[in-house]
Amino acid sequence: MIRVAALALTGAWAPLTLLPAQAPTAKLSGQGILIYTAVDPIPGGGMLGEARLVQPILMLDLGASRGRLLLHTSANFEGWTMPNGELTPGAWGEGYIDRRHPHTYVHELMLSLPDLLGQLDGAARTTFSAGKGFVPFGTDDPMSRPVERFPVNHHLSQLLERAVAIVAVEAGPATVEASLFNGDEPTSPSDWPDLSRFGDSWAVRLTLRPGSGLEWQASTALVHSPEHPGGAGPDARKWSSSLLADRPIGSARFYGLAEWARTSEAEGAFVFHSVLLEAALTTGRHHPYYRFERTERPEETRTFDDPFRTVRPPLDNSLLGITRWSIHTAGYGVRLGTPARRLTLEPFVEVSFGQIATVGEGFFDPVAVYGSDTFRAVSIGLWLDWGMRGHRMGRYGVPMDMPGMPMQMSSRAR
C-alpha cells in the first residue's frame, strides 16, 4: 500500500516539477447515483429492497507538457457507501454473488505518455500507459454505459483494478493495445494489486473505427489465477468482441452495443458465454434505454452467514454448477436542467425481468436457492453527473472519447 501510494504521489508531483514549465491542464469531475432497488426473489426466497448511493466517483485528470503527459486518477467510494454490495440479481465476482461488489477506493491511477515517439512512428501514434487501472480487454466499463444495473457479464467482459502497463498504437482507424498486468483480482475495497504478480497475465485488443460513430473491437486475455491471490487457482482464457454505435439520428442520439464474450477456465473445464445487446436514445430531455443479456456464471459455495457472499479464497477448483441468466432490462430517465450545465441531474426508473436456467449438470438448483427460476427487479434513482461527460472509463491515452462524439456525450451516453 505504502509503495503504491508513494508511486502515486511521485507520479502526481514529479511530472510538474521535472518537465519544462507548461500550463498544466486539470479537470475534476464526479458522479453518483442515489438509488432504491427492490428484488424478488433473493437467495433464500422473498423480496428485499435497499436504498444506496452507488457509483460515487471522483475523477481527476491532469495534463502537462502540452498534453504529452497525462495523469488519470479516479477514486471510488463504494467501499464506504455500499460495503456489502449493490443488490443486483445475477451479479457475481470478488466474493459477492447476487450483489455487485464494491470497487476499490483507488479505482484508477494511470500515467500516460501519448504520442510517445513523436514523428518516429510516422503517421501512427504510440501511447504508453502504466499504473493501476483497466486492462485493454473487452467492452467499456458498465459505469460509463446507459443501464444502471451492472450486467452479469462484468467479470467476463472487463478486467480492471490491476497493475497494468499498456502500449497502444493508433494508425488511421485502427488501434492495437497490448498489456501486461497482475492476474489477481481485488479482495476488498482497500486492496492493491500484488506487484509481485505483475506480468503473469496479458491482454491484447484490436479496435477498428470503420466510420463515424462506429467501433468494433476484438480482444483476448490470459489471466493467471484471478480468484486466488497466491496464484494457486486456475487460469482464465478470455475472448471478447463487440460492435459499438454512437451517432446522431435526426435530432436524437443513438447508442447501441452488441457484445459477445467467452471465458474458459482450468483449461476448458469450465466455459462461460455471454451475449449482450443494449441501446439507448437521447432525445431532448428524454432518455429511454434497454438491454438484453444472456450470460453464464459459476455457482460457488456461499458463506455460512451471508447468502450474498462466496467462499474466498475458494477451497478447491470445484463448482456447484453453472447457471445461465437471461435478463431484459428497460429504463427511462429525464434530464433536469440544460445540457450545458456542469452538474446534471437525471431521475430514472429501471426494471428487469430475468430467467435462471442451469447449464449442464451439477448440484445447483435455482429453485432450491431462490424459490423460483425467475426474478424481477425495479429501481428508482437519481443520477448526478458533475463534469464526467465524455470520459470513457477504461481507455487511456488514445481513444478515450466515444467514437462518434469526442468529449461531448456524458459518460452514460445520455
Partner 1 sequence: MRGERHLRLGVTALVAACLACENPDAGQQPTAGGQSGVLLAASVDIPANYGIHDTFVRDGLAFVCAWNTGVMIYDVGNGIAGGSPHNPRLVSTYVTPGGEDHNAWWFWNPHTGEKKYLFVGQEGPGTIGARSLGDIHVLDVSDLAHPNEVASFHLDSAGTHNFWMDEDAQILYAAYYNQGVVALDVSGDLTGNLSSRLIDSIRPGGEGSTYTWGVQLLNGSLYAIDMLSGFWQLGLAGGKFSVLGGGDNVRERYSSDLAVGNNGFGYTGTWGSGRTTGIVGNAVKVWRLDASGTPALTDSIITAGIGTVSDIKLSPDGKLLMFTAERGPNAGFWFYSLKDPAKPTYVARYLVPSNSGGVHTGKFATIAGRLYAFGAQDPSPGSALLILDLTAIDQ
8 Å CB contact between 363 and 313: no
Neighbours of 351 (CB within 10 A): 15
- H or E element: which one contains 3? helix 2-18
Does 228 sit near partner 1 (CB under 8 A)?
yes
Does 233 sit near partner 1 (CB under 8 A)?
yes
At a CB cut-off of 8 Å and minimum separation 6, what does 386 contact?
29, 30, 31, 342, 343, 344
If binding means CB under 8 A, how many residues of this protein chain bind partner 1? 63
Among 37, 73, 323, 329, binds partner 1 (CB under 8 A): 73
Among 320, 330, 334, 378, binds partner 1 (CB under 8 A): 320
Smallest distance, partner 1 to C-beta of residue 208, A:
35
8 Å CB contact between 144 and 176: no
Residues in the chain: 414
β-bridge mates for residue 381, sequence order: 35, 348
Residues 335, 337, 340, 345, CA torsion sign: negative
Site for partner 1 in 175-214 (CB under 8 A): 188-190
How far apart CA 216 and CA 174 sit, in angstroms, is 10
Smallest distance, partner 1 to C-beta of residue 279, A:
35
When the beta carbons of 249 and 311 are compared against partner 1, the nearer one is: 311
- Return the range that interacts with partner 1 (CB under 8 A); candidates 49-57, 139-147, 150-158, 320-328: 320-328
Nearest CA to 272 among 294, 295, 244?
A: 295
At a CB cut-off of 8 Å and minimum separation 6, what does 120 contact?
none
When the beta carbons of 141 and 299 are compared against partner 1, the nearer one is: 299
Does 18 sit near partner 1 (CB under 8 A)?
no
Smallest distance, partner 1 to C-beta of residue 22, A:
10
β-bridge mates for residue 273, sequence order: 262
Among 19, 24, 165, 247, binds partner 1 (CB under 8 A): 24
Smallest distance, partner 1 to C-beta of residue 179, A:
23
8 Å CB contact between 168 and 127: yes
Smallest distance, partner 1 to C-beta of residue 120, A:
30
- H or E element: which one contains 98? strand 96-100
Binding mask 43-62 for partner 1 (x = CB under 8 A): -xx------------x-x-x
Q: Residue ranges of the alpha helices (H) in 339-404?
A: 366-370
Site for partner 1 in 103-162 (CB under 8 A): 105-106
Among 81, 220, 264, 301, binds partner 1 (CB under 8 A): 301
Among 116, 163, 322, 398, binds partner 1 (CB under 8 A): 322
Nearest CA to 132 among 101, 157, 93, 104?
A: 104
Among 124, 247, 362, 372, binds partner 1 (CB under 8 A): 362
- H or E element: which one contains 8? helix 2-18
- Return the range that interacts with partner 1 (CB under 8 A); candidates 197-205, 236-244, 363-371, 377-385: 363-371
Give residues in contact with partner 1 (CB under 8 A): 1, 5, 8-9, 12-13, 16, 24, 26, 28, 44-45, 58, 60, 62, 71, 73, 75, 79-80, 105-106, 188-190, 228, 230-234, 265-266, 269-270, 301-306, 309-313, 315-322, 360-365, 368-369, 371
